[in-house]
Structure 1
Amino acid sequence: MAQVPQPLDALAVRAWCTLALQALGRAREEIDAINVYPVADGDTGTNLYLTLESATAAVEAVFAGYEAGAAVDAPRPTLAGTIQAMAHGALIGARGNSGTILAQLLRGMAEVLAADDESARGDARMLRLALRQAADSARQAVAHPVEGTVLSVASAAADALTGAEGDCGDVARAAYEGARAALMATPGQLAALKRAGVVDAGGRGLVEVLAALVETLTGEAPMPPRGTHARVESDPPDTSTDTRTDTCEDLCADESGPAYEVIYLLEADDAAVARLRERLDALGDSLVVVGGDGLWNVHVHVDDAGAAVEAGVEAGRPYRIRITHFAAEDVHTGAAGRPPRERAQRAVVAVVPGEGLAGLYEEAGATTVLARAGEPPASGELVAALRRAHAREVVLLPNDADLRHTAAAAAEQARAEGVRVALIPTRSAVQGIAALAVHEPERRFDEDVVAMTSAAGATRYAEVAIAERQAWTMAGICQAGDVLGLVDGDVAVIGSDITATAETVLDRMLAAGGEMVTLVLGDEAPASVAARLQARVREAYLAVDTVVYDGGRQGPLLLIGVE
């Protein structure tokens, strides 16, 4: 069913994110399959999806904040605030060369659309300027722009708007048509694409994003471009300069290129980043540095990954560093010259909130995904963990109610790859601990899943945390800095003292009975709180055991589980 047309405002940005993410999700595998430039590592579609997933999460957080604070007159989301959130989310979540460029395209649009902080809506003129700024800023972010790539497609989209008239929907459609035509021309601009008989993968992804913008603003999804869903049929691969028969190894490995992809976020000033560009440009290729206002996303291909990171340290504060070896072993196929390693029969994959619990879960044999405060894992990270577990059967423990959709999408993708996945809807890491405690790989898969689900379901959970802002809760209005006691996900206690609040929460949970109390302390919790809670259990609740774990750096000060 066609979407209802809507103006370019905060709601349009939200809808655009949703539609674009869905489109990239559908096209991800196809885009991965045609990825031959700059490195044929088959991940352009995945990287674009993960980047936009981060952007979408940032936009949803804007609306969630408004909805949570509606009772205290929180301001409605604006076009400026929402498009800036989209751009920032893409920046901090950018993956790979393609994702980094997409982040800069969105940042360029935000620079125009957010110029007037008071504007509730954008008009056609603003959208034209935004798409022009997007294309220009993305090209400037790349050290050595190459035609026949996503940069060409973005420029063509902006060029198509010269003299364009009409409303925002007309502008979006003109940009889409220009991008689609440019995409079909990319094999004639880049030898690697012509030899492989494909269009540019990054450009293909951008066409999907622009198609989603058209659908958002007009209510009608444009027809997908023909010839871009697989290898270009009308122009067979060019073999005139190469008498070899193309093989997977020919297209998927370029041994003459750098060995590593290095990506990190960087806090630094403009002058330091200018020097960093020069140094990284001398170290490798595919250099893209995007961002501004003190926060940057750095992407480069190098042989010396350490030197690339050291350059970031000299420029400012690099973090969320990712280093990928292009020749790293694929867990499904094995490295060249070696057979694939044998799959295990069964594994457990769990999302955990801190390093301490990650160690605990890993000691029990689980593969873990770390969920840092404010940075929930994307579905791609969960899929990577499911693959890393390398088992025929996998039990997935999301340990967070907000991750249920992300975990379900990851499970579905793993099933499509032939892995049997059972998703147990654990809502807290303490429920995951209970499930893991009864896990027996020797049992039949269904029996093991039932036992783990029952153990998790029989565990009530709570947490103690500090309020970040004023908000309406089930227990009343809290202020920033208040101590919150949440039971089964809802705020039940608002206090001023961490230990006293934790005691009140524990008493409420044990009032309904229990045999085992699990306490997971974050590194910012008072050192005395565990001893006080253990003493409370001994004094008031006979025959109830207590176990304490160090959660390390985690979001909540304290996690509590009662079985």
Structure 2
Amino acid sequence: MPPTLDADAVRTWCALALDALGRAREEIDAINVYPVADGDTGTNLYLTVESAARAVDAVFDGHATEGPGSRPGLAEAVRAMAHGALIGARGNSGTILAQLLRGVAETLTPGDEGHRTLDDAERLRQALRRAVVSAYEGVARPVEGTVLTVAVAAADAASATGGADCADVARAAYEGARTALEATPGQLDVLGRAGVVDAGGKGLVEVLGALVGALEGGKPATEPLPAAPPRATRAWAAEGCPADLGGTPVHGAEPAFEVIYLLEADDEAVARLRTRLDALGESLVVVGGDGLWNVHVHVDDAGAAVEAGIEAGRPHRVRITHFGAARVAATHTRERVQRAVVCVVPGEGLAALCAEAGATVVGVRPGEAPASGELVEAVRRAHAREVVLLPNDAELRHTAAVAAEEARTEGVRVALIPTRSPVQGIAALAVHEPGRRFDEDVVAMTSAAGATRYAELCVAERQSWTMAGVCQAGDVLGLIDGDVAVIGEELASTAETVLDRMLAAGGEMVTLVLGAGVPDAVADRLRRHVRRGHLAVDTVVYHGGQQSAPLIIGIE
């Protein structure tokens, strides 16, 4: 029976690709030298495919609840795969892989009747070709010798298979990709000097090998690489793929931060964002469509990159990694830094603030608390022998403890400081000193966090009983150290009452973190209020951008 390109094949492809990348993850991480030698390409690709696989499984699970005979179609499965990869894409290569999968989905879910009459082999050939064109649309400065080159070769080889079935097309693509991968050290100087093939390209070979396995009903293809492969051809450049892959990489000092976020924005705003981010940094990849995008860029000014996203639309799931001393150019041997800080924060502005202080950041979207695995992955990204973990949320304490324990099994010395609010995390970061002994640094950071009382202003969603009495939907609640202490009708006046209660116990510094959409006038009013009643108390204001609380207050 000939192989069938259907929803079951897509689900099997995702499962086999996840298994293959899991086995190859450490090897791919070890050869990661371009565009930044940060040793995480294998991990990023694994997490990207894991998100895709979860999305496909969710589609199948949804149909299972409708009865034993209900199953998703090919279009629904590939759309789920592409969407899952998009929202879970990590790093430069993971973001490009997500766009490749989006290109595949665009071709396998067409709206015209004529296309649906094509056989599976031709549909797969066209899908692989569209995938490459789509990926080039997302990469600002394509460079030869990377995952893009490998993808081109795969599509070229698939196009040359004639009337073969879809399994033959997949195997041809896999063989073409392996051949192109072997040639990458001769196409990109940094790879040649390190004596390695491109890490992202190797990951794509694993994904294509999994596709072969899914269509042949067996295990992923894992043949050894050829000894002397030719350069990839690009006969169909006129159809949208650039005829010259030789984009010019940026030389000189490497940027300090990797910034990644999901962005809800329209096409016109994203076009302006591409131009702005391209001027700010390098390794720019913006992928997606239909109002949802995944943005990846390496910059020196992380705050400016996030602000550009805020101007374009609504960014969320912001992840900012400080490369720091851990990056080692032109070598596949990466030394760990001695110490790093991992912060969990709820807003774009807070993410940029903590990243600029040198922390590895895990951004949080309202209602979507990070899992322990995401915190472990952040510890790995920090690539340090010693890590201080700041959860900045009382409800994340258990999750952070699980993550810390898992990271310790990997040889990392982890100290968990149970910060319950972002303002406690800011206070801890302010006294962080990597030059101190680890224990001394942890004690100082813990003391600073513990000396910071915190409050949060939020809006009641419904009537309920609180420690301050009964609140109605729409009331402004002032929570001090986690408990409702004040119920008011307006944000600024309620905040003034909260400040007075907190400062009655003393304080030297007030920190105000403004949420998304809160005007500066509120901060100005509160700053004047503090100055009138407490002349010796200083006030600092940050634009946190958090959606969960209009205002967060810290008193040190």
The TM-score normalised by the length of structure 2 is 0.59
Q: Give the Cα–Cα distance (whole angstroms) in 2 for the partners of residues 219 and 408 of structure 1.
A: 38
Distance (Å, rounded) in 2 between the aligned partners of 1:96 and 1:304 = 18
Residues 355-370 of structure 1: pairs in structure 2 closer than 5 A = none
Partner of 1:193, secondary structure, is helix
User: Given the alignment, which residue of 17, 20, 31 partners 1:34?
Assistant: 31
1:21 and 2:18 matched: yes
Instruction: Give distance in 2, aligned partners of 1:549 and 1:5.
Output: 64
* C-alpha deviation, 1:313, in angstroms: 1.9
Pick closer, same or farther for the CA change 1:122–1:158 going to 2, 3 Å: same
2:316–2:363 CA contact under 8 A, matched in 1 = no
Alignment partners' CA distance in 1, 2:4 and 2:369:
31
CA contact 1:135–1:154 (8 Å) conserved in 2: yes
**Alignment partner of 1:203 out of 201, 204, 211:** 201
* Alpha-carbon offset, residue 374 of structure 1: 6.2
SS in 2 for 1:38: coil
Decide whether aligned partners of structure 1 residues 90 and 353 sit closer, same or farther in structure 2, where only a CA change above 3 A counts.
same
Shift of 1:224: 2.6
Q: Give the alignment's Cα RMSD to 1 decimal.
A: 5.0
Q: 1:80 aligns to what?
A: 75
Greater alpha carbon shift after TM alignment, 195-204 vs 298-307: 298-307
Flag the 1:293–1:198 CA change in 2: closer, same or farther, 3 A.
same
CA separation of 1:69 and 1:337: change in aligned 2, threshold 3 A: closer
The residue number in structure 1 matching 2:302 is 305
Unpaired segments ≥5 residues, structure 2: 230-250, 328-333, 348-360, 390-394, 415-457, 471-481, 485-545, 549-556
Contact 2:379–2:407 (8 Å) recurs in 1: no
Of the three residues 244, 253, 266, the one matched with 1:269 is: 266
Report the counterpart of residue 125 of structure 2 in structure 1: 128
2:464 to 513, 528, 547: 528
Residues 101, 19 of structure 1: CA spacing in aligned structure 2 closer, same or farther, 3 A cutoff? same
C-alpha change, 1:413 and 1:303, in structure 2 (3 Å) is: closer
Residue 47 to residue 121, structure 1, CA distance change in 2 (3 Å):
farther
Find the counterpart in structure 2 of residue 217 from structure 1: 215
- 2: CA distance between counterparts of 1:307 and 1:554? 19
Matched with 2:94 is 99
User: Partner of 1:313: helix, strand, or coil?
Assistant: helix
Measured in 2, the distance between the counterparts of 1:25 and 1:410 equals: 21
Query: Partner of 2:315: helix, strand, or coil?
Result: strand
**Counterpart contact for 1:124–1:171, Cα < 8 Å:** yes
Q: Aligned match of 2:255 in 240, 254, 258? A: 258
Q: Is the 8 A contact 2:362 2:375 kept in 1?
A: no
SS for the counterpart of 2:285 is strand
AA aligned opposite 1:214: V
Offset of 1:157 from its aligned partner?
0.1
**Structure 2 counterpart SS, 1:24:** helix
Name the structure 2 match of 1:166: 164
Measured at CA, do residues 527 and 92 of structure 1 come closer, stay the same or move farther in structure 2, by a change above 3 Å? same
2:182 partner amino acid: M
| SS of structure 2 residue aligned to 1:8 | coil
Whether the 8 Å CA contact 1:371–1:377 is kept in 2: the answer is no
The letter for the 2-side match of 1:201 is: A
8 Å contact kept, 1:353–1:373: no
Query: Does the aligned pair in 1 maintain the 2:212–2:220 contact within 8 Å?
Result: yes
Give 5+ residue unaligned stretches, structure 1.
235-253, 331-335, 344-348, 355-366, 395-399, 421-521, 535-547, 556-563
Secondary structure in 1 matching 2:253: coil
Q: Do the aligned partners of residues 353 and 377 (structure 1) sit closer, same or farther apart at CA in structure 2, a change above 3 Å counting?
A: farther
Offset of residue 321 of structure 1: 1.6
Equivalent residue letter for 2:110: A
Alignment of 1:495-506 (within 5 A): none
Which moves more between the two structures, 46-55 or 196-205? 46-55
- Aligned partners of 2:194 and 2:362: how far apart in 1? 38
Per the alignment, residue 44 of structure 2 pairs with 47
In structure 2, the partner of 1:485 is: none
AA aligned to 1:168 is C
Q: 2:84 aligns with which of 70, 89, 110?
A: 89
The residue number in structure 2 matching 1:187 is 185
Instruction: Note the C-alpha offset of 1:415.
Output: 3.1
- CA distance in 1: counterparts of 2:13 and 2:27, whole angstroms: 21
Indicate how the Cα distance of structure 1 residues 107 and 414 shifts in structure 2: closer, same or farther if over 3 A, else same: farther
| Deviation per residue, 1:398-423 (Å, 9 max, x gap) | xx9xx99xx99997786354789xxx
Residue type of the alignment partner of 2:187: Q
SS in 2 for 1:160: helix
Going from structure 1 to structure 2, the CA distance change for 1:124 and 1:223 (only over 3 Å counts) comes to closer
Q: Distance in 2 between matches of 1:59 and 1:297?
A: 19
| Structure 1 counterpart of 2:59 | 62
Deviates further, 26-35 or 408-417: 408-417
**Structure 1 residue 141 corresponds to structure 2 residue 138:** yes
Residue 61 of structure 1 deviates from its aligned partner by 1.4
Q: Comparing 24-33 with 110-119, which one deviates more in the overlay?
A: 110-119
Mapping for residues 341-352 of structure 1, pairs under 5 Å: none
Amino acid at match of 1:300: V
Q: Contact 2:318–2:364 at 8 Å: present in 1 too?
A: no
> Aligned pair in 2 of structure 1 residues 368, 293: CA closer, same or farther (>3 Å)?
closer
Measure how far apart 1:373 and its partner are. Answer: 4.4
Please name the residue that 1:340 is paired with.
338
1:285 to 260, 276, 282: 282
Q: Secondary structure at the match of 1:340?
A: strand
Farther-moved stretch of structure 1 (59-68 vs 254-263): 254-263
Q: In structure 1, how many angstroms separate the alpha carbons of the residues matched to 2:286 and 2:336? A: 36
Distance 1:5 1:416 in 2: 45
Alpha-carbon distance in 2 for matches of 1:284, 1:8: 40
Q: Which amino acid aligns with 1:256?
A: A
**Residues 128-170 of structure 1: per-residue CA shift (max 9 Å, x gap):** 1000000111122111110000000000000002231321111
Match of 1:377 among 365, 368, 371: 371
Contact 1:35 1:42 survives alignment (8 Å): yes
Q: Deviations over 1:318-356 (max 9, x none)?
A: 2222221110679xxxxx99983599xxxxx9x9999xx
- Superposition map of 1:482-561 within 5 A: 526-528=462-464
Please tell me the residue identity of whatever aligns with 1:98. Answer: S
Give the drift of 1:91.
Answer: 0.8
Query: Which residue identity lines up with residue 174 of structure 1 in the other structure?
Result: A
**Residues 53, 339 of structure 1: CA spacing in aligned structure 2 closer, same or farther, 3 A cutoff?**
closer
User: TM-score, normalization: structure 1?
Assistant: 0.59
Change over 3 Å in CA distance of 1:204–1:353 after alignment to 2: same
Check conservation: 1:87, 1:107, Cα contact below 8 A: yes
Q: Does the aligned pair in 1 maintain the 2:99–2:131 contact within 8 Å? A: yes
Change (3 A) 1:412 1:8: farther
Aligned residue pairs total 394
The question of whether the paired residues in 2 share the 8 Å contact of 1:18 and 1:56 is answered with: yes
**Distance change >3 Å, CA 292–CA 353, structure 1 → 2:** closer
Structure 1 CA distance for aligned equivalents of residues 173 and 336 of structure 2 = 47
What secondary structure does 2:320 align onto?
strand
Residue deviations 1:63-101 (CA, integer Å, cap 9, x gap): 122223438x9x531111111111111111111111110
Correspondence list, 1:232-251, <5 A? none
Deviation at 1:58, TM superposition (A): 1.1
3-state SS of 2:287 partner:
strand
Contact 2:264 2:293 in 1 (8 A): yes
